[in-house]
Structure 1
Amino acid sequence: MKTFTFFILSLFTISIYAQGPNADGMEKQAVEETIRTFFDGFHKQDSTIIKNVVDNSIVLQTTGRNKEGKTMYRTSEFSKFLESIVSIPDSIGFEEKLTSFSIQVDRTMANAWVGYEFWLNGNFSHCGINSFQLINFDGTWKIIYLIDTRGKAGCLEE
Structure 2
Amino acid sequence: MKKALTPVLFSLLLGASLGANAQTTAAETADIKQTINAFFTGMRQGDSTTVRRTLAPGAVLHALGGKPGQAPSLHIESINGFLKAVGTPHPKIWDERITFANVLIDANLASVWTPYEFYIGDTFSHCGYNSFQLVKLADGWKIAHIIDTRRKEKCR
Gap change, CA 1:111 and 1:21, over 3 Å in 2: farther
Q: Which residue of 2 aligns with 1:136?
A: 136
User: Percent of aligned positions with the same letter in both sequences?
Assistant: 29
Change (3 A) 1:72 1:22: farther
- Structure 1 residues 142 and 93, CA, compared in 2 at 3 Å: closer, same or farther? closer
Which residues in structure 2 correspond to 1:9-158 (within 5 Å)?
Answer: 24-89=25-90, 91-138=91-138, 140-155=140-155
For 2:52, the aligned partner's letter is K
Contact 2:43 2:94 in 1 (8 A): no
After alignment, is 56-65 or 80-89 more displaced?
80-89
Distance, in Å, in 2 between the alignment partners of 1:30 and 1:133 is 14
Q: TM-score, normalized by length of structure 1? A: 0.79
Residue 65 of structure 1 deviates from its aligned partner by 2.4
Q: For structure 2, which runs of at least 5 residues remain unmatched after alignment?
A: 1-9
The root-mean-square deviation of aligned C-alpha atoms, in Å, is 2.5
Deviations 1:50-81 (A, max 9, x none): 11111120000000223542110110110000
Q: Aligned to 1:70, what secondary structure does the other structure show?
A: coil
The total of aligned residue pairs comes to: 141
Equivalent pair of 2:61/2:78 in contact (CA under 8 Å): yes
Residue 128 of structure 1 aligns with an amino acid whose one-letter code is G
Query: 2:5 matched to which residue of 1?
Result: none
Give me the TM-score of the superposition, normalised by structure 2.
0.80
Q: 1:154 to 1:66 in 2, by over 3 A?
A: closer
C-alpha spacing 1:21/1:151, structure 2 compared with 1 (3 Å)? farther
Q: Distance in 2 between matches of 1:112 and 1:132?
A: 5
**Quick check: which one's helix share is greater?**
2
Equivalent-residue separation in structure 1 for 2:129 and 2:73 (angstroms): 16
**DSSP 3-state at the match of 1:100:** coil
In 1: Cα distance, 2:57 partner to 2:129 partner: 23
Secondary structure of 1:79 counterpart: helix
